[in-house]
């Protein structure tokens, strides 16, 4: 067995375990962390396929940003596990059908007969081949219009999300940092010039109780 094959099986085993953990863990935070592990091992598998750009971007985007926000939300939710499991059996048939459908689709693609997965080029690339550079070249030359279109759609999505969730109440109070920072000393403190006044020395008090 080649070493890369060995690495593949180790990573695949960890990934399957993590994926199982994601759907069986009782604690949602544990489930999210298992999903992080699954992403990590998936990145490792892609690295084995010499897709280093995709592998690193998977970690950067999904592990580094998306799952952090996911955890952020999951940790703050007050999830009642008993209520979640309450209607498990009534949802089971629907879930099973969707699961089987996904397995069938995957089998269809991976068996390679209809989608040409077998016709993909082999892994042998020249030594100086840079995945990142090739991908960038393709994105910005051949596919530049679809790429720009996708970015515009994403921008619309961002603005829509902000507009839908941004609600401000009329009676809430804000601090405006730009105004606070722009404050000058003269706005807050007034220096008053005063003459020094010399008090008359008070007459020495009567000394009592000799």
Partner 1 sequence: MEALILNFFQWFWNLFGLWDSIWPWFQHVWPLAWSILRIVSILVPLILGVAYLPYFERKVIAFMHVRIGPNRVGPLGLFQPIADGLKLFFKEVLVPSKANKKLFIFGPIVALAPALIAWAVVPFADGWVLADIDAGVLFLLAITSIGVYGIIISGWASNSKYPFLGAMRATAQMISYEIAMGMAIICVLMVSNSLNLSEIVRAQDQGRFADLGLSLLSWNFIPLLPMFLVYLISGVAETNRAPFDVVEGESEIVAGHMIEYSGMAFALFFLAEYANMILVSFLTAIFFLGGWLSPVGFLPDGHWWLAAKVSFLLFCFLWFRATFPRYRYDQIMRLGWKVFVPICFAWILVVGVWMMSPFNIWK
By CB under 8 A, which span of 15-23, 64-72, 92-100, 163-171 interacts with partner 1? 64-72
What sections of 59-193 are H helices per DSSP? 67-76, 81-86, 88-110, 131-140, 144-165, 177-181, 185-188
- DSSP state letter for 39: H
- By rule CB under 8 A, what string of x and - marks binding of each residue 160-189 to partner 1? ---------------x-x------------
Cα dihedral 26→28→32→33 (10° resolution): -60
d(CA 123, CA 94): 40
Residue 33 vs 45, nearer CB to partner 1: 33
Least distance in Å: CB of 42 to partner 1? 13
Q: How far separated are the first and last CA of the chain, in Å rounded?
A: 110
The verdict on 65 binding partner 1 (CB under 8 A) reads: yes
Residue 64 vs 95, nearer CB to partner 1: 64
What sections of 141-204 are H helices per DSSP? 144-165, 177-181, 185-188
The verdict on 71 binding partner 1 (CB under 8 A) reads: yes
The verdict on 138 binding partner 1 (CB under 8 A) reads: no
Binders of partner 1: how many residues, by CB under 8 A?
25
Among 132, 149, 153, 156, binds partner 1 (CB under 8 A): 132
Asked whether 44 and 11 are in contact (CB, 8 A), the reply is yes
| Site residues for partner 1 per CB under 8 A | 29-30, 33, 36, 52-53, 56-57, 59-60, 63-65, 68-69, 71-72, 75-76, 130-133, 175, 177
């Amino acid at each position: 067995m080649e070493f890369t094959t060995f690495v593949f099986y180790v990573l695949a085993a960890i990934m399957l375990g993590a994926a199982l953990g994601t759907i069986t863990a009782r604690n949602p935070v544990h489930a999210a962390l298992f999903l992080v592990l699954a992403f990590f091992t998936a990145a490792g598998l892609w690295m084995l396929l010499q897709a280093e750009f995709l592998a690193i971007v998977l970690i950067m985007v999904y592990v580094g940003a998306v799952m952090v926000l996911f955890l952020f939300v999951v940790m703050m939710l007050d999830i009642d596990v008993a209520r979640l499991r309450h209607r498990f059996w009534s949802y089971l048939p629907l879930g099973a059908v969707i699961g089987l459908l996904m397995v069938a689709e995957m089998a269809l693609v991976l068996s390679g007969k209809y989608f040409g997965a077998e016709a993909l080029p082999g892994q042998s690339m020249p030594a100086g081949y840079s995945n990142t550079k090739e991908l960038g070249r393709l994105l910005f030359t051949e596919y530049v219009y679809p790429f720009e279109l996708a970015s515009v759609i994403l921008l619309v999505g961002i603005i829509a999300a902000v507009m839908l969730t941004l609600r401000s109440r009329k009676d809430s109070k804000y601090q405006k940092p730009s105004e606070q920072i722009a404050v000058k000393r003269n706005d807050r403190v007034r220096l008053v010039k005063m003459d020094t006044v010399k008090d008359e020395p008070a007459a020495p008090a009567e000394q009592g109780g000799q």
